[in-house]
Amino acid sequence: MIKYIGNRLAQILILLVIYVAVVFFLLHSMPGGIEAVLATNPNLTPAARESILKAFGLTQPLPVQFVLYLKNIFTFNLGISYSFYPTPVWTIIARRLPRTILLFTTATLIAFFVGFASGKSLAWKRGKTSEYVSTVVGVIAYTVFTPLLIFTLIWFFGSYLGIFPLNQFLNPDLWIRTNLNAQTIFLYLLLTISLIGLAMLASFAIAQKVSHRVKTRKIIFYISTAIAIALAVFWWAVSPVGIYGFDILWHMILPVMAVTIISYAGTMLVMRDSMLETIKEDFITTARAKGLPDKVVRDKHAARTAMLPVITNFVLSMGFVVSGGVITETLFSWPGMGMTLLDSVLAKDYPLASGALIFTGIFVLFAHLVIDIVYAFLDPRIRY
């Protein structure tokens, strides 16, 4: 296993170099570019333009620029953003990456569990009206034009009902009265949510070790999860910054809802198909013949086995999370990686654009690695 992870890390490194090369040359082959932007500025003398280009190292030939860029990446130096001059790209990404990660991991996890559970019961209720309705709704959600869905959500919840904020990351009217740093509060939020996630994982593992009975396991898991959530809620409620954390969460609800609706259907439809395949297997008949209750046959035997292709689909959808993120974040004015990517490409801000692409690339590559490792635990037939 350790050898396998080592191999995979080496692979990731090679892939990353190739990926950086593609990103770098692709961005530089776009027409226009910073030189053109500077050339069309009438306030610049040719001498000043020349010195600016020289300062950014743009006078050197492209291959030399690439080698320098590649060298700099390994020292965590991604250059300086043109549009946010003189902020280093690294600083901008460090501020914005967590926002995207929180938004999309939350939405993707919710979508996965909702899709998994509904796909499971859909297959079990094959042929009933509720199955047809849910399948049609799922296909609509899967194929809907993303901006249309988002505008509908914003109109309905933000404008018509007026219960959620229209867009943005926080409410400036609230934050103007305090000198708290939104980023710090946000990082605390992220930390809290990660801790809850860790507590859930740990209690799941402990429950597996402690008892062989499904009921006891479930009780342990639910109680410890409830305790972890209650503790977190209590801490935020008591703390004076609780209201600010709540404000950020409040702004997150609509974007999370949008991404969840877009991505749950994929999981649901794959799970439904996979379940229908699995139900025909002989070991399901065996499980029924053993006199196991219907729910146990469905959850423990059918769903557990049918889950494997769904996980594969889930990994593949990680890539779409990035592309979908551009639209979602821009429409919600959510200052994350997707919005950064779009803005920087439009502004010909190459260092920021390639930095954003490289980080999403790293994210996807590591997500694949994590899922591959998880797969080994889920399917005993797979050994590395």
Partner 1 sequence: MKPILEVKNLKMYYNTRSGYVKAADDVSFVLNEGEAMGLVGESGCGKTTTSMAIMRLLAENAEIISGHIYFKGKDLLKLSEEEMNKVRWAGISMIFQAAMNSLNPVYRVGDQIIEAIVTHEPNVTFEEARERVASLYKLVGLDPKRMDNYPHEYSGGMKQRAVIAMSLSCNPDIIIADEPTTALDVIVQDMILKEMSRIQKKLNMSMIYISHDIAVIAEVAEKIGIMYAGKLVELSDSVTIFKKPAHPYTVGLMSSFPSIKGEKKELVTIPGEPPNLLNAPDSCRFAPRCPFATKECWEKEPPYEEIEPNHFLACFHPQNLRKQVSEYARG
- Contacts with partner 1 by CB under 8 A lie at 127, 212-213, 281-283, 285-294, 296, 301, 304-305, 378-381
Which residue number, 50 or 379, has a Cβ lying nearer to partner 1? 379
* Nearest CB to partner 1, comparing residues 42 and 293: 293
Least distance CB 331 / partner 1 (angstroms): 41
Which residue type does 291 have? G
DSSP state of 81: -
Give the nearer residue to partner 1 in terms of CB position, either 13 or 378.
Answer: 378
CB of 293 to partner 1, least distance (A): 7
- The number of residues in the chain equals 384
Considering the complex, what minimum distance in angstroms separates the CB of residue 252 from partner 1?
36
Determine contact, residues 2/36, Cβ cutoff 8 Å: no
Report helix, strand or coil for 367.
Answer: helix
Residue 166 corresponds to which tokens in the numbers above? 């229209």
* Residue among 374 and 378 whose Cβ is closer to partner 1: 378
Is the Cβ of residue 3 or residue 215 nearer to partner 1 in the bound state?
215
Q: Considering beta carbons, is residue 86 or 127 the nearer one to partner 1?
A: 127
In the complex with partner 1, which residue's Cβ is closer, 177 or 295?
A: 295
Residue appearing with tokens 């990351």: 169
From the list 21, 16, 58, the residue with the least C-alpha distance to 348 is 58
Q: Please tell me whether residue 80 adopts helix, strand or coil conformation.
A: strand
Residue type present at position 53: L
The full DSSP string for 131-153 is: HHHHHHHHHHHHHS-HHHHHHHH
The CA distance from 26 to 20, in Å, is: 10
The minimum distance between CB 127 and partner 1, in angstroms, equals 8
What's the CA gap between 255 and 260, in Å, rounded?
A: 8
3-state secondary structure at position 174? helix
Find the shortest distance in angstroms from Cβ 221 to partner 1.
18
Closest to 250 in 3D by CA, of 147, 146, 340, 168: 168
Nearest distance, CB of residue 272 and partner 1, angstroms: 17
Minimum CB–partner distance for residue 122 and partner 1 (Å): 15
Beta strands in 198-268 (DSSP E): none
Q: In which residue are the tokens 């796909």 written? A: 119
